[in-house]
Amino acid sequence: MTPLLLDIVDQAFDHRAWHGTPLWGSIRGLTPRQALWRPAPGRHNIWEIVLHTAYWKYIVRRRLVRDPSLTFPRPGANWPRLPDRCDATAWRRDGALLREQHHLLREVIRRFPDSRLRRRGWRSTWTNAQHIYGIASHDLYHAGQIQLLKRLQRR
C-alpha cells in the first residue's frame, strides 16, 4: 500500500499524471511578479499558496513521525507570511522550500510501515493513510487554483 500512496503523492507534486499539471508544474517558469498577483484584495496569490502547501507537507510529515520537535523553517503557520523582499532570489528560495518539504515528506512515506497506515495520526482524527492521500489531494487542489490564477492574469 505504501508504494501506491507514494506514487499518488509524486503524481500530485511533480510526476507525469493523467489528471494534468501537478503542483510543481503549475509554478514552473513563473516570475515573482506573476506569483504576487492577486485576483482581488484579500485573496491569496500564488506565492502564498506555495508557502501554504510547503507548510502542510511539513505538518503531515510531523504527524507521521510523531515528532513535536520538528519545526517549519519559516515563521507563521498555515499561511506563512511572504518574505519582506519579494524578489527573484526569494521566489527561488521559497520554491526550493516547497521542493525540500516534499522530499522530506516523501522520504518518510517511503519508509512508512504499512502496519501503521490504518492507525490514527498523531494529534489528529484522521488515519496516517488519510494524511498521505490527503496531502496529494491538497497539492492537486492548489495546483488547479494556481492554474486558474495564471489564466485570470492573462485576461
Residues making up the chain, counted from first to last: 155
Cβ neighbours around 22 below 10 Å, total: 20
Cβ neighbours around 25 below 10 Å, total: 17
The span from the CA of 28 to the CA of 98, in Å, is: 12
Matching CATH number, 2-153, of 3.10.110.10, 1.20.120.450, 3.30.479.30, 3.30.70.20: 1.20.120.450
Output the pLDDT for position 19.
87
Q: How far is CA 50 from CA 3, 10, 63, 127, in A?
A: 26, 16, 20, 25
End-to-end CA separation in angstroms for the chain: 44
Domain boundaries, the chain: 2-153
Residue 41 phi/psi, 5° resolution? Answer: -55, 140
Q: Whole-model pTM? A: 0.96
Q: Which residues, including other chains, have CB under 8 Å from residue 141's CB and lie 6 or more apart?
A: none
Contact 86, 36 (CB under 8 A): yes
DSSP 8-class letter at 125: S
The span from the CA of 35 to the CA of 104, in Å, is: 24
- pLDDT tens series, the chain, 155 aa: 899 999 999 999 999 888 899 999 999 999 999 999 999 999 999 999 999 999 999 999 999 999 999 999 999 899 999 999 999 999 999 999 999 999 999 999 999 999 999 999 998 999 999 999 999 999 999 999 999 999 999 87
Output the pLDDT for position 1.
87
DSSP string, 53-102: HHHHHHHHHHHHHT-TT---SSSSSSSPPPPSS-SHHHHHHHHHHHHHHH
Output the pLDDT for position 132.
98
